[in-house]
Amino acid sequence: MKTEFSKKILSWFRVNQRSMPWRNVSDPYRIWLSEVMLQQTQVNTVVSYYKRWLEEFPTLESVAKADLDQILKVWEGLGYYSRARNFHAACQEVLIHHEGRVPSDPEVFYQLKGVGPYTCAAVQSIVFNHPLAAIDGNVKRVVSRLRCIPVPPSKAIKDIEIFLDSHISKPSPGDFNQAMMELGATVCAIRNPKCTQCPVSKYCEAFQSDSVQEYPKPESRKSRPKIEVAAGLIWKGNKVLIAKRLNRGMLGGMWEFPGGKVELGETLKTCVRREIKEELDIDVTVGNLECTVSHAYTHFSVDVSCFSCQYKSGTPKPLASQDLKWVRIRDLKLYAFPKSNHKMFPHLPKKNPFVMTSQKVR
């Protein structure tokens, strides 16, 4: 059954696989890049980013030698920015310590920054033919149905690994891993799975027992908190002040408008004034609310209210960031901002509203 299972799914994959720019290529750098981008991101979203990235950084060496600001700007909008920072650092390590060649030893590759079990197995199986099972969300769902696993996938990783390790094709482990992922993405879907089109339905316990929709068992979900944030568009002449986040956390290295979380019992305007004083050690006059935008992250969501602020006194200091810059509104596009800030851009004034107000008074 094990050999037959592998043959069936491989035959199906080689006929039905979707065309993707990282398939049927042999460059370890390009395959590694695709696997990093595909983590927690849909294929349709990744394709355009992948192509644009390769236009900017055609080689591993070009990534390693790039400035982190360049890296984050090209990655901008794809989310989970630690992936970009880690990939950048890992490419530098490969260039320095491995003569620019992606390690073909799984244990060595696994030690690189940002390389976890999935990335290691995917890259090493596809590029170097190591029989390592790559387990993503699609694969978890497929195996949960094949085996009628009675607990959520997160509690059955060992059982899933045992199944895959015993069925993975030794001659073609990379194709096997891609076939399992492709099956989950296109046939064994979360809703309305196409069981009649499945090449391995005869081996699927859930299909045979007419219980496909009962698997995988749902994971326990925690409520997603909403955080209220206030930010300041600080004007000085025709420029506004932006701050670069420290290189840690999920938005590390990105630029943003200074601000922070609203404390209990605090008004939005009071929050902006306090945060600007704490983060920059300057005083401002808080003006009009320009916009409020909402954005959802994986584990929480935010409502961000942005106020125009007039710079009054003090020398801006990066007390909570790594850099500060005064820039024109039209030049914001040159810097890498989180998506929540991008949602504000269409609502921001093009010129200093405090200057316009004073002219009107005259």
What are the residue numbers of the active site? 35
CA distances from 89 to 76, 86, 113, 256 (A): 17, 5, 6, 23
* Tokens of residue 196, six digits: 């009649």
Q: In angstroms, how far apart are the furthest CA atoms of the chain? A: 87
User: Which are the contacts of 130, defined by CB distance < 8 A and separation ≥ 6?
Assistant: 106, 121, 124, 173
Q: Write the DSSP string, 102-170.
A: --SSHHHHHTSTT--HHHHHHHHHHHH--------HHHHHHHHHHHT-SS-GGG-HHHHHHHHHHHS-S
**Residue type present at position 21:** P
Chain-centre distance of CA 296, in angstroms?
A: 13
Count of beta carbons in the 10 Å neighbourhood of residue 3: 10
The Cα–Cα gap between 348 and 274 comes to: 22
Contact 197, 207 (CB under 8 A): no
Q: Report d(CA 193, CA 49) in Å as an integer.
A: 29
